[in-house]
Amino acid sequence: MIAIYGYRPVQRWTYRSIPGPPPRWLTGNLSEITRLSYAMFYLKYARKYGKVWKVWFGSRVVVLVMDPDLGRLVNRNPNRHAYPHLGDLKSAADNASFFSSITTARDHNLHRSLQSAWQPTLSSASLAGYAPAMNAAAERLVACLGAVAAANGETDMLARFFRVAVDVVGTAVFGVDMHAQDDDDGPAAKRSTALVTAMQTLMDIEYGARSRYLTAGALFPFAFPLLRALVNIFPDNAIRRICSSYVILRGTCEEVLGDIKAKLAAAAPPASPAAALAGAGPLPKAAKPKSSGAGSVAMMPQAAVPDGGDAAQVPTPPGGFIPHLLSSAHHAGVRGGALLSDDEVLQQAMSFLVGTPESTAAAMSFCVHCLASHSAAEAALLQEVDAFGRARVPSAEDLAGLPYLDAVWTEALRLYGPGVSILREAAHDQRIGGHFIPKGTALQTVICAIHRDPAIWPRAGEFVPERWLAGHAAEVTDAQRRAFNPWGDGARACIGRRFAAEEGRIVLLRLYQQFTFELLPGQVPLELWSPFSIKPRHGLFVRPRVRA
Ligand code: HEM
């Protein structure tokens, strides 16, 4: 039985028309995926098996789509496919709260309800208010780099950007100073270092599947109840580290939530919790979220996808995310339209804190890498920065007047977009690229392969920011624009895209007002790695040079 199970004859038969790298007995393609990291594995075979091919994550088949048009069919499925995850291995009670976060919610209606709760915080009106916090975090970075440059030292920009992004989430979103960039030995700095390490551990180990339990879960999904019991009795090192990191992350968010609730309780009867906390004037009454309607598990049209959330135009003041969530209600069909529970609010806060700095930091690092290795692009950017003003502090609106900076950001996202793929679960039986895909199949539109496909992009592997400049000879075509999808697509597309773009561009602008960067030996070509999102494998090591 074990021998037959390892060959998975039923699944092989079901997906027989779809090509792919030959699977090994029992482990499928898992060992090669783990060795290369999954984005690198996809890129290795991207053009060998055509537009639709399959891989075996242990006993699970995942169908990969390498074509933007076919990808749109995949992305219309409303739910994200979930791999075996720490959340799966935890007790039923913990599971319930783990899957209450916007990123992990499996129920379509719950997800839409949470999406509505997040949207105001990421609307244009709210984003404009975050620029001062982003500038402040950038100024701390400039000060740190000034000290490094004065000593002719070198530094890891990936690690620095990660800390910038943590500080931005702290001040812009939670309204607290995370002290992530403090480089003294004080208690605040120690706590922030513990938090940063915990966040990185969670992203690296959990998704890198270095725990034997997670690997076993991928090979024997039916054994989850047994694994769940074993994991608590005989945790391996990876599980121990994941759990202690989770405790630190949760503890930080619980503390923030507790402080905010105490301040709200102490405030005089507020016009709205967010306004009371931020000391702002009364906010307009929150827009009542639209009901998703009972039983609307059907596929969601792409038009309904938020692009960062302007559906509800009520601005959240800086630091107002949690107070806003505390006063947000679910859609009528979800949990009886009740207010979000404290635990749901906590899960959203944890999601924001753990999920967003990694990809934003990676995107900023890739921009620095591309500029440092392309002197013409760097010179063009410096010219734009100088015309803007070397000492001028940018607002969110100013960014619209910096097209080359935007082109650098966008082209770096094309070449090195941290989001590897768009994960979906087939909501019903369907055909993709002529292949039959049964309901429940894990599907992925592989963004990194589409973004580097020479059939779509001229000079696909080169960094050419000019292709994003309006009117330039190299300007992208409509088809190329449609193939560009670093934020995902469909109902579960990235809700923080504009937040990330604002932060990334403000920080880069502030850096290039003061510095250029020299890559240390070994940084070209950059080794990529994707335990979760794509990032430089060993960091990005540079020597900052103060501009004359
Ligand atoms: C450069 C930085 C970022 C990149 C490349 C990125 C990319 C992505 C991608 C590819 C997805 C999956 C989309 C899909 O399945 O269709 C995603 C989801 C998500 N992103 Fe981002 N993201 C970035 C930064 C951020 C930031 C700063 C935030 C927070 C404000 C954020 C919040 C989210 C959330 C909440 C989801 C899950 C959405 C859902 O399931 O409905 N992201 N992101």
Could you tell me whether strands 60-65 and 442-446 are parallel, antiparallel, or unpaired per DSSP bridges? parallel
Given a cut of 50, whether residue 308 has pLDDT beyond it is no
Check pLDDT > 80 for residue 268: no
Residue that has been written with the tokens 């027989």 in this structure = 16
Distances (CA, A) of 26 to 5, 219, 367: 7, 7, 40
Do residues 394 and 509 lie in contact, with contact meaning Cβ atoms separated by under 8 Å? yes
Predicted local distance difference test score (pLDDT) of residue 132:
97
Vertex 431: Cα angle to 430 and 433 (nearest 5) = 150
187-201 vs 157-168: helix axis angle to the nearest 10?
110
Q: Is the pLDDT assigned to residue 300 strictly greater than 90?
A: no
List the residue whose alpha carbon is closest to atom 2 of ligand 1. 360
Mean pLDDT across 7-22? 95
Q: Across-strand partners of 518?
A: 543
Going by CA atoms, what residue is nearest to atom 36 of ligand 1?
494
Confidence of residue 34 (pLDDT cuts 50, 70, 90): confident
| Residue 278 scores a pLDDT above 80 | no
- Using CB distances shorter than 6 Å, the residues near ligand 1 are 80, 102-103, 115, 122, 352, 356, 359-360, 363, 417-419, 422-423, 486-490, 492-496, 499-500
Distance 119 CA to ligand 1 centre (A): 13
Residue 339 burial (10 A CB sphere; 0-12, 13-18, 19+): middle
SS3 at position 425? strand
pLDDT at 216: 86
* 424 Cα to the center of ligand 1, angstroms: 14
Q: What mean pLDDT do residues 117-137 have?
A: 96
Q: What are phi and psi of 240, to 5 degrees?
A: -60, -45
Backbone φ and ψ of 11, nearest 5°: -65, -40
Quick: pLDDT tens for 392-451.
Answer: 999 999 999 999 999 999 999 999 999 999 999 999 999 999 999 999 999 999 999 999
Q: Cβ(529)–Cβ(207) under 8 Å?
A: no
pLDDT for res 90: 58
Distance (Å, rounded) from C-alpha 100 to C-alpha 345?
Answer: 9
- The DSSP 8-state label assigned to residue 301 in this structure reads P
> How are beta strands 60-65 and 421-425 bridged, if at all?
unpaired
Query: Which residue stretches of 437-536 are H helix?
Result: 447-451, 478-483, 497-514
> What ranges do the domains of the chain cover?
1-87+423-451
By CB neighbour count within 10 A (0-12 exposed, 13-18 middle, 19+ buried), where does 148 fall?
A: middle
The residue among 387, 341, 360, 373 whose CA lies nearest residue 508 is 360
Reported ipTM: 0.99
Average pLDDT, the chain: 88
Alpha helix ranges (H) inside 151-278: 157-168, 187-201, 207-208, 212-219, 224-233, 237-266, 273-278
Residue nearest to atom 6 of ligand 1 (CA): 487
Helix crossing, 403-416 with 375-388: angle to 10°?
A: 140
Q: Which amino acid is at 295?
A: G
| DSSP 3-state of 22 | coil
Longest dimension (CA), the chain: 72
CA 34 – CA 57 distance, rounded (Å): 10
Q: Whose CA is nearest to atom 1 of ligand 1?
A: 360
Q: What is the sign, positive or negative, of the torsion defined by CA atoms of 129, 159, 420, 99?
A: negative
- Band of the pLDDT at 280, cuts 50, 70, 90? very low
Q: Check residue 208 and give its pLDDT.
A: 55
Which H or E element spans position 519? strand 515-519
pLDDT digits (tens, 9 = 90+) for 520-537: 999 999 999 998 899 999
Ligand 1: centre distance to CA 493 (Å):
7
**Is 415 within 8 Å of 463 (Cβ atoms)?**
yes
Residue 283 pLDDT exceeds 50: no
Q: Report helix, strand or coil for 188.
A: helix
Residue 494 assigned ligand-binding role: yes
pLDDT > 90 in the chain, percent: 71
CA–CA separation, 174 vs 309, rounded Å? 18
- Enumerate the β-bridge partners of residue 444: 64, 423
Give the length of the chain: 548
Which of 130, 420, 494, 533 to probe ligand 1 with, by most ligand atoms within 8 A of CB?
A: 494
Rounded to 5 degrees, what are φ and ψ at 486? -70, -15
Between the two ends of the chain, the Cα-to-Cα distance in Å is: 72
Task: Give the helix, strand, coil percentages of the chain, each rounded to 5.
Answer: 55, 10, 35
Q: Say how far apart CA 167 and CA 193 lie, in whole Å.
A: 12
Q: What type of residue is 220?
A: F
Indicate the pairing of strand 528-529 with strand 535-536.
antiparallel
Of ligand 1's atoms, which has the minimum distance to the CA of residue 121?
A: 30
pLDDT of residue 210: 72
User: By alpha-carbon position, which residue is closest to atom 33 of ligand 1?
Assistant: 494
d(C-alpha 227, C-alpha 229), whole Å: 5
484 has pLDDT over 70: yes
Of 146-155, 476-485, 528-537, give the lowest mean pLDDT range.
528-537
Query: Structure pTM?
Result: 0.91
Which pLDDT belongs to residue 304?
Answer: 38
pLDDT at 118: 96
Residue 108 has pLDDT above 90, yes or no: no
Decide which of 286 and 356 is more confident: 356
**Residue 164 pLDDT > 80:** yes
Strand-strand pairing, 52-57 and 541-546: unpaired
In this structure, the residue with its CA closest to atom 43 of ligand 1 is 494
Token reading at 328 = 């947000």
For residue 459, pLDDT over 90 is answered with yes
The rounded distance, in Å, linking the Cα atoms of 255 and 275 is 20
From 2-6, 140-144, 508-512, the region with the lowest mean pLDDT: 2-6
Question: Ligand 1 centroid vs 24 CA: distance in angstroms?
Answer: 33
pLDDT of amino acid 2 = 87
The residue assigned the tokens 């076919």 is 70
Helical H segments across 373-466, by residue range = 375-388, 403-416, 447-451
What would the pLDDT profile of 47-65 be if each residue is shown by its tens digit? 999 999 999 988 889 999 9
Ligand 1, residue 503: give the atom nearest the CA.
27
CA of 500 to the centre of ligand 1 (A): 9
Q: How far is the CA of 355 from the centre of ligand 1 (A)?
A: 8
Predicted confidence band at 206 (pLDDT cuts at 50, 70, 90)? low
**Using 50, 70 and 90 to split pLDDT, how confident is the model at 273?**
low
Q: Positive or negative CA dihedral for 83, 86, 92, 93? A: negative
- For 56-92, the pLDDT digits (tens) are 988 889 999 999 999 999 999 998 887 656 666 655 4
Residue nearest to atom 30 of ligand 1 (CA): 496
